[in-house]
């Protein structure tokens, strides 16, 4: 399932000049700040419901996420956080309800159109990095772009750019087994960004890290938001991170509390 979200790469214009990193990334992403600000809504979910047999997991979730917001989702184990994240990330379908992302109505997309939309607009980071063990960090980061048939040079250049930003370029030639947990997870973050998604969903991305690496990863999300205006929706059990987020959504009994 996670492979599908790798399959695209929106080519950006990578130049040889060296403007400020944040500015360069915005340029690479083809993001015009004025345009971005005029479309502040990134995600809107309305009355999302999901049952598994007789178990009503989501009983009507309404959620809006603005561009460049970092939202955390918290709740007890089994509350439905991953179920919701997968639905918001278009990896799963709700039984009912409406979802739009970046002004596209997801409920009306199917098959290839949905896969294409997902590939172009959505990044995923999982608790366990899911890097492919037989490939180097660099190959792992590039892979979603290359699988999508995009230009090798541009994909590699942008992968290096991201790896620099995430401070893992020195681990470029390392296979995941020769990287620390924090490095592996930062490579997974770079991989999630290679296709320049509109929104990144992360399911307990620091759940497998020690406290120092977890803290570094959390700061990284905010840096990516500040530098690239990247939008994040992050499920977490980490109370410190939940507090750092712009907004925290708590799920209990199939609904958002409050």
Ligand X SMILES: Nc1ncnc2c1ncn2[C@@H]1O[C@H](COP(=O)(O)OP(=O)(O)OP(=O)(O)O)[C@@H](O)[C@H]1O
Q: Which is nearer to ligand X, 140 or 248 (CB)?
A: 248
Quick one: which of 81, 150, 186, 196 contacts ligand X (CB under 6 A)? Answer: 81
Per CB under 5 A, residues contacting Mg ion are 82
State the binding partner of 75 from Mg ion, ligand X, none, CB within 5 to 8 A by kind. Answer: ligand X
Cα gap 61→250, rounded to integer Å: 11
Rounded to a whole number of angstroms, the minimum distance from the CB of residue 78 to Mg ion is 8
Q: Which is nearer to Mg ion, 82 or 236 (CB)?
A: 82
Closest by CA to 232, choosing from 240, 244, 250, 214, is 244
Q: Which is nearer to ligand X, 75 or 148 (CB)?
A: 75
Closest by CA to 205, choosing from 225, 190, 179, 186, is 186
CB atoms within 10 A of CB 124: 24
Rounded to a whole number of angstroms, the minimum distance from the CB of residue 65 to Mg ion is 19
Quick one: which of 16, 17, 38, 77 contacts ligand X (CB under 6 A)? Answer: 77
State the binding partner of 79 from Mg ion, ligand X, none, CB within 5 to 8 A by kind. Answer: ligand X
**Binding to ligand X in span 82-141, by CB under 6 A:** 82-83
Q: Are 93 and 87 in contact (CB under 8 A)?
A: yes
State the binding partner of 8 from Mg ion, ligand X, none, CB within 5 to 8 A by kind. Answer: none
The DSSP code for 191 is H
Q: What angle do CA 195, 200, 205 make, to 5 degrees?
A: 115
Q: Which is nearer to Mg ion, 137 or 235 (CB)?
A: 235
Q: Are 195 and 33 in contact (CB under 8 A)?
A: no
State the binding partner of 39 from ligand X, Mg ion, none, CB within 5 to 8 A by kind. Answer: none
Rounded to a whole number of angstroms, the minimum distance from the CB of residue 193 to ligand X is 23
**Binding to ligand X in span 3-62, by CB under 6 A:** 52, 55, 57
**Number of residues binding to ligand X, judged by CB under 6 A:** 11
Q: Where are the alpha helices (DSSP H) in the chain?
A: 21-28, 33-38, 81-88, 111-121, 137-147, 152-165, 181-193, 211-228, 239-244
Cα gap 10→154, rounded to integer Å: 10
Residue 52, classified by CB atoms within 10 Å of its CB into exposed (0-12), middle (13-18) or buried (19+), is exposed
Q: Which is nearer to ligand X, 99 or 159 (CB)?
A: 99
Using CB under 6 A, list all residues that contact ligand X: 52, 55, 57, 75, 77-83
């Amino acid at each position: 399932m996670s492979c599908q979200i790798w399959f695209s790469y929106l080519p950006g214009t990578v130049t040889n000049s060296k403007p400020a990193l944040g500015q360069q990334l915005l340029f690479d992403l083809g993001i015009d700040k004025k345009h971005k600000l005029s479309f502040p809504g990134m995600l809107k979910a309305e009355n999302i419901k999901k049952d598994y047999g007789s178990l009503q997991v989501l009983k009507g979730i309404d959620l809006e996420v603005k561009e460049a917001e970092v939202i955390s989702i918290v709740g007890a184990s089994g509350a439905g956080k991953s179920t919701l994240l997968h639905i918001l990330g278009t990896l799963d379908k709700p039984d009912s309800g409406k979802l739009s992302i970046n002004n596209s109505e997801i409920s009306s997309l199917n098959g290839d159109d949905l896969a294409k939309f997902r590939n172009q607009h959505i990044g995923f980071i999982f608790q366990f990095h899911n890097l492919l063990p037989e490939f180097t960090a660099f190959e792992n980061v590039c892979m979603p772009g290359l699988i999508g048939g995009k230009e090798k040079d541009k994909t590699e250049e942008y992968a290096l750019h991201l790896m620099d930003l995430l401070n893992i370029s020195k681990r470029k030639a390392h296979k995941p087994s020769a990287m620390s947990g924090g490095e592996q997870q930062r490579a997974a973050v770079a991989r999630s960004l290679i296709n320049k998604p509109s929104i990144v969903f992360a399911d307990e991305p620091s759940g497998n890290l020690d406290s120092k690496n977890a803290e570094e990863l959390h700061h990284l999300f905010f840096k990516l938001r500040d530098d690239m205006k990247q939008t994040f929706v992050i499920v977490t059990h980490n109370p410190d991170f939940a507090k750092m987020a712009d907004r925290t959504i708590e799920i209990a009994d199939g609904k958002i509390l409050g």
